[in-house]
Amino acid sequence: MELRADEHPLYQGRPSWRALLSFYVSGVLAGLAIGAILWFAASEGVGAAAFVVIVAGTVVIGYLRRLFTKYLVTTRRLRITRGIVSRKVQETRLDRVQNVNYEQGVIDRIFRVGTVDFDTAGTDDSEFRFEWVNRPDEVVRAVDDAIANVQGPPGLGEGRGGAL
């Protein structure tokens, strides 16, 4: 992504590998549960195969999701890039961000990861989120600091802090 001359990155990241641990634990537990049910309901081989397929699928999906998701906060905008073959890019200017919240489940708190949710003005895009990020409270603080410093071009009244 090309940055403007007056723009510099404040945060660059991907989903955290620690968040993948909780995803992997969930996948192993699901594999155990389904494998055990099939072990007793069908046969030992079917149960073991189901466990292996579910755990392998969990590992591959988690790794690919982490590898092909990028988050960026600059002094002017937020950007999420996702995709392996096709690409989906979400971007908004910082002056359009109205609220920044984060959430953490119990396992997320243990691993110090979470999801940062951005409410933006004038969009129907309810899924502008940085998922599985390290220390989401620090991401929120960085965005809040950046929003407080955003200023539009002098005299045009754009942005926060611009002249009216």
Q: Which domains does the chain have, with CATH numbers?
A: 1-150 (2.30.29)
Distances (CA, A) of 36 to 28, 49, 59, 137: 12, 11, 20, 39
What is the per-residue pLDDT across 55-106, written as a single tens digit (0 to 9) for each? Answer: 999 999 999 989 999 999 999 899 999 998 899 999 998 888 888 999 998 8
What one-letter code names the amino acid at 32?
Answer: L
pTM listed for this prediction:
0.74
Which residues, in sequence order, are bridge partners of residue 88?
A: 82
71 and 11 Cβ atoms separated by less than 8 Å: yes
pLDDT at 155: 47
What one-letter code names the amino acid at 30?
Answer: A
What is the per-residue pLDDT across 124-142, written as a single tens digit (0 to 9) for each? Answer: 655 789 998 999 999 998 8
**Distance, CA of 47 to chain centre:** 33
47 and 121 Cβ atoms separated by less than 8 Å: no
52 and 38 Cβ atoms separated by less than 8 Å: no
Alpha carbons within 13 angstroms on the beta-carbon side of residue 17 total: 0
